[in-house]
Each structure stands twice: as C-alpha cells, then as structure tokens.
Chain A
C-alpha cells in the first residue's frame, strides 16, 4: 500500500532534485526505472497532472543518460497508449537516447503520432514543471519525427505510412514538412547502404515486450485472496477461490472513470473480442474471463454491468465483471498491480492482463503494452493441456 506520508513529505521540486541526483550518478541511474512503478509511494495522493510532470521528468533524465533495457518498456508504454503531450514528447526523446535503433520500435512511434497529432502542443523540457507559453521549441509531434529520423533505415518497413505524413489529405500540417522530409531521407538513405533490411542489433530489444511468463515464480493464492468476496455486475457474490480455482482464466483490470480511451475502454472492448474468440473455439466453458475494477467504491454493480454491456462484454456464470467490495489490497498483492491512488480514485495505472492457471496462480502477464487477443487466447488455451503457448 503506498505510504502517503512519504509522498506528502516530498514536494515536486524536491522530487525533481532527487531524480536529477540519481540521474547524475552512474551507479544509481538504474533506480530511475523503479521510480516509474505506478504504485510507488512517491505518487500516492497526487493528481494525474502532477504524476505526468513527475514521470516526464524521469523520462527526460533517462534521455540524458540512456534508457536501460529495464526502462525501455516504460518508454514504449507511453508511446503505445499515452495521451499526455508532455509524456509522449519525453518518451520520444528518451527512445533515441543511447540506444541503437531497431525496426520493432517503429510501430510504437507511428502509433504515438496517430494518437497525439491532434493534441499536439508546445512542451518545455528546460525546467521541471514548466509548461510552454509560446510555441517555439519542441512538441510531441516534433520529437516523434526526430525519432523517426533516428530510426532511419530501421523504419523502412513502414515507409509508406511515413510518406503518408506528407500527403495533402491526411498528412501532417505544413509546418512539419521539413521534419517529415528529414525522417524520410534518413529512412531512405539506408537503402544506399548494405543490408538495410536486417536489424542492426539482432533480436528485438529486451524490455520491448509486454508479455511475461510468470509460472516459475508464481505463488499460490494466499488465504486472504482465496477468501476474498467478489461482487459481480448483477450484485451476486462469490469468492476468489470459488470463481478462479478449477479452470484457467483471463483477468483484466479497469475502472469506469478512466479517461484514456487507449486503456480501460479499449481493454474491456478487447475482452469482449477475447470472449468471442473463446466462444468460436468452443473454449468459453473451459476458460473463464473476469474484469476487476480498480475503483470498487464508485464502480457499483450497475455501473459495471452497463460499462461491460456498452462494450459488448458477455456476462454469465463463467464471465463476469467484479468489484472487491471490501477493498483491493489482497488483489494488489496477488497480482502486483500497477496502479496508484489519490484517495479512492485511481491516479495512474498501467494496462494489465493476467492469465491464471487452474489454481489461480499468475502464469502469464501482459503488462503496459497493448496486448494481442489471439496471443492471450493462445496462452490461456495452453493452460488447458498444461503446455506453454
């Protein structure tokens, strides 16, 4: 549980100084990634805007010293589903710091461009907490285009999409024309060199994948979580053990007041697609699905039901939306949830999906990056016959 007193004692300027000090020390620089966990005490009881400032500053600090493999996923997360211009800009800058480009990074940059282009605004990286009051300087779109240029020939697989950025209809505004041309030139220049098709650093970078196999380190559910009372969208009560033990399950987390359309709303819509896939393969009775709300105090059964219904989610004995009426502590511990709070309201959370085995242990997790429905179903199906996906 986040320690509110620690958070309350640290002002934002103090936080910035702390980050700068860590970043300046090569021996401590690796601690920066740890500061990006949503449930870190430093974020407790802070609003979302404050958290954006803080996380952005960490990403910029990483940009100065180079992003480690452990931290890469946080950068990609921001590009993949972020909607805050400052964070996206900082992530774009961080991505090209001290690493070698890799083709697998290009889709993240293009996705971020599509997400942020109509919310582009000037950002300031000069001082902590500074907001731009003039349009000179950088912006998330500019940073992303610079990162495309850095990717160079590694972005060749998406050359057509990059070229579309200068199309008269649907392309970026004229003011970005030079940046787009620069990126295109960098991408094409690689054609003149040898073997632009191959990636220059071998395998996909560690830390660029959101899926983690957890079976080896998974612990059985504690008594606390087994006994945990869950209330579903119809107000029916059950326990964690009664629902989750006996067959594999797919579990997602969300809350109805999430205002990032790339996160909770999409997660639940995709859960509906997962359910359809299970149904199509005749697995809907063998593999359960569940969606837990991070916000059980506000997300009462009616709210859960309607949220799921509006997104096409099926609900029946084996597929439900849940709230933990007595609080989420046991859930947080069992899953290691990536969520922080201000009061009872979520202030920041990651995308997270878990595949549980038949005794309720976490076998596979999909964290931070948007997950693929087929991949999730494949892993869950593998639980049925005990073999890995």
Chain B
C-alpha cells in the first residue's frame, strides 16, 4: 500500500508543476528536496527548481541549509542543495536576507567528511576571499596532516586572492613539489609575484621542462617582464632544436603582445618564422606562424 501511495505521489507531481506558478512550483520543489521520503534522484531533481523559493522564503532557505549541513543526508542531495543555494545567491537583492546564514553554513561544512563537498564549499568561500577558508587552506599547505584539500587544489583556490599570503607556500612547493600538478599550480600562483620573473625566464627557456610549465612561464613573463618575454620568445624561435609547441606559444605571444616596430625589422626572426611555417609541423602551429607573418612581414 505504501508503494502504491508513493507512485500516486509521483504521478501527481508533474501535473501540479505544469499548472503552478513558478513560485508555487519552487516551494513544492523545496518540500521534495528536503524530504527523506523521496528518492535521491527525485530530491536532486527537485533541488534544481528551488532557487526562487530560497530567495523568497526564510523557511525554505533554512530547510535547504539544514540539508546541506546534515552529514546524515546522502551526499548527492547535499550537493544539489548547495548548487541550488549557489544559484539563488546570484539574485543578490533577493538573497540579501540569506547571505549571513549561507556563509556561516558554508564555513561549517568546510571540513565535511565528503571531499567533493569540502572542495566546492572551500571554493565558494575562497572566491569570496573569506579569511576562514584562506586560513584553513594555508594551514593545510604548511601541515599536510591538517590539509582539507590536496595542495594543488589549495593553491588554486588561494590564487583567487593575491593578498592571501600564499607566495611563501607556493615557493616552497616549487622547490620541493609533492606532485607535478602542485608544482604547476604553485607556478601559476607565482605568476602574480613581481619578484618571480627571473625564475619564469629560466623555466621558459628550459627545453627539459614540460610543455605546460613553459607555457605558464611564457604567460607569466608576458605580464611581469614583457621585454624579457620578447627576448626569450625570439631566442626560442631562432633555436632550431627547440620544440614546436613552445614556438607556437612564443609566436602567439609576439603576435598579440610584441613590440611591433622591433619585430617588423627583425629579419633573422622573420626568416626563422617563415621556415617554421613551411616546415614539418602541425597545421595549427603553422597557423600561428601565418598570423605572425600577416602582422609583421608586410611587403612595402
């Protein structure tokens, strides 16, 4: 009999949603999303319909927050509640009344047992430049036993705020990386550190470095010391033994950001680029050469 009642409920829900106004439908969706009587699938689907209700009803918002906080709830349902609250937060004026509770709940969930929930919540807080989240992330970098996230993720989240005092931790990781991804994220973070330009120049020229690291270095140098990027890019393009991928990055950089007067007069460079364009490399890399030459190799 209980099963039959559940089926009956399922049949009636879609009909009610079709004729209901968005507000009414949203409120009903909250009641489904927050009720353990429904399946995980039903609840997560309903959660997607709740942002409007969350903004307009304190009761509904509190109900969704309670689901998010409750470690006994299925993780998928909690994640769906989080996403719904997040979507609601875009309606800033309407969300004003909710924000305090929302931020407090996010902090509470920041050390949740579920890693995906932790990551999302810490990401949200990090984007708000929340001191609580930053402190947790930095603590984890200094003491892996306290880490709530892998170091590469912590570094990525700390990069949302240049003032988060993460440079020292990033430099330590570049020196002694726990893994390659952490090293990469540390370098990406340090691309905002004005004193790191010499390091990036060295990395960009190092043929033994990974493609991605050299690419990050080129981008970092373009912001920190553009004249050094131009010099390094030129040297890479003149070096027949260097790789095509970094040549393509160098060409893209020079096309977008180079000193137009200097480059147009640089015959050795133009010859090298012409050689690259007509050589045995992939079509997309040849295209970077073509764009460069279109810009700088104008026949008078």
Chain A directly contacts chain B within the complex, with at least one CB pair under 8 Å: yes
| A interface list, Cβ under 8 A from B | 45-50, 52-53, 86, 117-122, 129, 131-135, 139, 172-175, 257, 259, 295, 297-298, 300, 302, 342-347
Which one of A120, A133, A139 contacts B108 once the chains associate, using CB atoms below 8 Å? A133
Interface string of B209-227 (1 = CB under 8 A from A): 0000000000000001010
Which one of B96, B131, B161, B166 contacts A173 once the chains associate, using CB atoms below 8 Å? B96
B191–chain A nearest beta-carbon distance, Å: 11
Residue among B103, B107, B138, B166 with most chain A CB within 10 A: B103
Give Cα A361 to B252, complex, Å. Answer: 48
B33–chain A nearest beta-carbon distance, Å: 21
Cβ-Cβ contact count across A and B, 8 Å cutoff:
98
Could you say which residues of chain B place their CB within 8 Å of the CB of A259?
Answer: 129, 161-163
Give Cα A86 to B107, complex, Å. Answer: 15
Is B172 in the interface zone, CB < 8 Å from A? no
B200–chain A nearest beta-carbon distance, Å: 14
| B interface list, Cβ under 8 A from A | 58, 92-93, 96-97, 99-101, 103-105, 107-108, 129-132, 134-135, 138, 161-167, 192-195, 224, 226
Give Cα A122 to B130, complex, Å. Answer: 12
The 6 closest A-B CB pairs, nearest first, are A47-B165, A49-B131, A297-B194, A173-B97, A48-B163, A131-B132
Closest to B106 in A: A133
Which one of B92, B164, B167, B194 contacts A49 once the chains associate, using CB atoms below 8 Å? B164
A326–chain B nearest beta-carbon distance, Å: 14
Which one of B96, B103, B138, B194 contacts A117 once the chains associate, using CB atoms below 8 Å? B96
Identify whether the interface residues of B are mostly helix, strand, loop, or mixed. Answer: helix
Which one of B99, B161, B165, B167 contacts A46 once the chains associate, using CB atoms below 8 Å? B165
Judge whether A342 and B165 touch: CB under 8 Å: yes
Judge whether B195 and A133 touch: CB under 8 Å: no
Could you say which residues of chain A place their CB within 8 Å of the CB of B163?
Answer: 47-49, 259, 342, 345-347
Residue among A47, A129, A133, A342 with most chain B CB within 10 A: A47
A sample of 22 inter-chain contacts (CB < 8 A) reads A47-B163, A47-B165, A48-B164, A49-B131, A53-B131, A118-B99, A119-B99, A121-B99, A121-B103, A122-B100, A122-B101, A122-B104, A133-B105, A133-B107, A135-B101, A139-B100, A259-B161, A342-B167, A344-B193, A344-B194, A345-B163, A346-B163
Closest to B108 in A: A133
Identify whether the interface residues of A are mostly helix, strand, loop, or mixed. Answer: loop
Give Cα A68 to B40, complex, Å. Answer: 58
Judge whether B97 and A298 touch: CB under 8 Å: no
Closest to B165 in A: A47
Give Cα A175 to B58, complex, Å. Answer: 10
Which one of B104, B165, B195 contacts A135 once the chains associate, using CB atoms below 8 Å? B104
Could you say which residues of chain A place their CB within 8 Å of the CB of B193?
Answer: 343-345
Could you say which residues of chain B place their CB within 8 Å of the CB of A343?
Answer: 167, 193, 195
Could you say which residues of chain A place their CB within 8 Å of the CB of B58?
Answer: 175
A33–chain B nearest beta-carbon distance, Å: 23
Give Cα A45 to B224, complex, Å. Answer: 21
Judge whether B97 and A175 touch: CB under 8 Å: yes
Give Cα A119 to B105, complex, Å. Answer: 15
Q: A118-B92, A135-B101, A345-B162 are in contact. Are A298 and B194 (CB under 8 A)?
A: yes
Give Cα A6 to B279, complex, Å. Answer: 60
Could you say which residues of chain B place their CB within 8 Å of the CB of A174?
Answer: 97
Give Cα A52 to B101, complex, Å. Answer: 21
Residue among B96, B162, B163 with most chain A CB within 10 A: B163
Q: A117-B96, A118-B92, A121-B99 are in contact. Are A134 and B108 (CB under 8 A)?
A: yes
Give Cα A47 to B142, complex, Å. Answer: 15
Judge whether B134 and A49 touch: CB under 8 Å: yes
